[in-house]
Amino acid sequence: MKGTTASVGSKGLLAAVRGAELTAFLHDSPHGQTRSIIIESARPAMGAPLRSVKRPVSSARRMLPPPAAVLLKQRARKVSDTAPVAMGNIEQALKRLGLDGLARRNDLNGSFVVEATAEQIRELAATPGVQAIRPNRRHRNIAS
C-alpha cells in the first residue's frame, strides 16, 4: 500500500511501521510525546485445518501454535519464525525499553498494545519478531 511504510533518515527503512499517521508521528513528534500503538508479532502462515468430522472448532486455543518449549524440541520447524518465540523477543524489547509494565499482551492474535515515544517505536520496529506496528485507533462512542 502506498504511504504505509516509513523511512527514517539514516536509520533506513522501517518496514514494520504501518499507517500515514504513525509515519508522520515518527518524523514530526516533539521529544517525549507518546502514541498508543499495536505491535504485531511475526506469525507463521496457517491454513484452515482439514477435518473429516463436521464439528466446529469450539475453542480458539486449538488453532494456536504449540508453546515455545514444544517447538524447541522439534528440529524440523524453524523456531525463530513461530509466534511464541516472536512474542518473547518483543516482550524482552519492551522490558529493555521500560515499557513492560504498561504493555497489554494479547496472545490470541499475537500482539501487544503500549504507549511509546517515537524513539521507542523506532527501536521496536528493529526488533526481531515484529511483523507490523500500527497506530491504536480510538473510536468515539456514539450516544443513543
pLDDT in tens, 61-111: 666 777 777 766 665 545 445 667 888 889 999 999 999 888 999 888 889
Tens-digit pLDDT profile for residues 37-52: 999 988 766 666 565 5
Angle between helices 118-125 and 83-96 (to 10 degrees): 150
128 — pLDDT class (breaks 50, 70, 90): confident
Residue, of 59 and 24, whose pLDDT is higher? 24
Give the amino acid at 113. V
**pTM of the entire predicted model:** 0.62
Contact 119, 31 (CB under 8 A): no
Distances (CA, A) of 65 to 79, 99, 107: 11, 26, 11
End-to-end alpha carbon distance in the chain? 36
> What number of H helices and E strands is found in the chain?
4, 6
| CATH of 6-44+64-135 among 3.40.1090, 1.25.40, 3.40.1710, 3.30.70 | 3.30.70
pLDDT band at 11 (very low <50, low <70, confident <90, very high): very low
